[in-house]
Amino acid sequence: MKFIKRAFFAFLWLAATLGADEPLAIYLTWTDDPTSTMVVQWMTPKGTTTTQLGYHEQGQSVWISAKGEAGTVEDCDVHRIHLEGLKEDREYVFKLEGDKRQYRFKTMPKKLTRPVRMAIGGDAYYGTGFEVFHRMNRTLSFNHPDFVVIGGDIAYTNGTKHFLKGPKWALARWQTFLRELQKTLSREGRLIPILPVIGNHDVHKPKHRTEKPELFYEIFTFPEKGKAYRSLDFGDYLSLVMLDTGHTWQVEGEQTAWLAKTLQSKSATYVFAAYHIAAYPSHSEFTGKKEERIRKNWVPLFEKYFVPFAFEHHNHTYKRTHPLKEGKINPGGVTYLGDGSWGVPTRKPKSPEERWYLAKSESINSCFIVTLTQDKCLVEAKNNQNQTIDQVESGSKASLTPALSE
């Protein structure tokens, strides 16, 4: 009887969606276990009455109805539904109330029974053109990532030049970014989850802040409201630590204490850090205040708890450092990868001859494809023609013997 009742209500829900409008933007993320959950988020014109979707495992036919919450942001509603109790490494079909189309997503495996692939890059959607942004998205899509980490300065909605354009302009730009990302990154209807990292152009500078909430925190969902720094565990094989380089939360103090406690607790095969401003920049001044704070507070923790790779951005170049420990080149140290050139005009970086810690630097648009297997982690730097311009690999957290490709 329960099955019949559930099927009946699912049929009524599907019938109600016929003829409805498509969402303004749709995007997926995780705030909890990626092997058994998914957060589905979408935007609609202001005034949508309910937040509901139907979903089922690929190959099944009975729709399960799920409800969530919505909030109004300017002239649109932002909806989010947390799906729980999903099966690991499975594909699901879902359909939003108010959308004729069907979408798909995939959960992550609990063990490295297959290669797991992550894409990561920063400084994504700059200016008014889409060409560079689209080319990099297609490169990432071609490499079939399971998920994507966006390392700050995502849609460039805040800054001195944008301050007078207003929140409606910023919201429209976020919607455009999310639509274009979905269109060029998703493959055959399967949406790729994104994990946003906060950057300086994602929130207002302190002197420009108002009492209104930041759009960044209204659009994206985090485990703790108003905190973009967090960690996410993928089974027993990956812990991803995403940090705030002083944009909402100070580098030192509470966040550094949290980072120390978090890294100490991690036992995953691979532990990576991702953040926006670079501790070891390729273009910015090495003696910048935030750069120095990161080196003083976070770098010793990366070294103490054996983080092989830290992904940095903000500089609009490509860079890879030597493995570094205690301010020196050390084969057992941390390799810093970056430097934030997804879709922005590139800058001229300092050369390895100019900065001792750089192993390679280049003025080129690039992102990283990170492939995890039981034996090793391979990080490939890709340009927007899908060419591998550099690579580095490492064993597990225990081995920490990076093999560099110069």
Give the residue range(s) of CATH 3.60.21.10 domains in the chain: 116-405
pLDDT score, position 161: 62
pLDDT digits (tens, 9 = 90+) for 86-123: 999 999 999 998 788 999 999 999 999 999 999 999 99
pLDDT band at 397 (very low <50, low <70, confident <90, very high): low
pLDDT digits (tens, 9 = 90+) for 3-31: 443 443 343 333 333 334 679 999 999 99
End-to-end C-alpha distance for the chain, whole angstroms: 65
The CATH number corresponding to 116-405 among 3.60.20.10, 3.40.50.150, 3.90.420.10, 3.60.21.10 equals 3.60.21.10
Spell out the CATH class of 2-106: mainly beta
pLDDT score, position 21: 61
pLDDT digits (tens, 9 = 90+) for 287-315: 999 999 999 999 999 999 999 999 999 99
Residue 222 vs residues 31, 39, 57, 228, 229: alpha-carbon distances, Å = 6, 10, 25, 6, 9
Residue 159 vs residues 173, 181, 228, 284: alpha-carbon distances, Å = 14, 22, 19, 18
Q: Which residues contact 237 (CB under 8 A, 6 or more apart)?
A: 111, 112, 116, 268, 269, 270, 372
Give the residue range(s) of CATH 2.60.40.380 domains in the chain: 2-106
Q: Which of 74, 57, 73, 56 is nearest to 65 (CA)?
A: 56
Considering the entire predicted model, what is its pTM? 0.91
Range 64-81 average pLDDT: 95
Name the amino acid, one letter, at 374. Q
Q: Which of 377, 258, 355 is nearest to 307 (CA)?
A: 377
pLDDT band at 55 (very low <50, low <70, confident <90, very high): very high
What mean pLDDT is reported for the chain? 90
Q: Does the pLDDT at position 233 exceed 90?
A: yes
* Rounded-to-integer distance, Cα 159 and Cα 155, Å: 11
Q: Does the pLDDT at position 160 exceed 70?
A: no
Burial of 146 from C-beta contacts in 10 A (0-12 / 13-18 / 19+):
buried
* Rounded-to-integer distance, Cα 41 and Cα 94, Å: 12
pLDDT digits (tens, 9 = 90+) for 195-219: 999 999 999 877 666 667 899 999 9
Q: Does the pLDDT at position 129 exceed 60?
A: yes
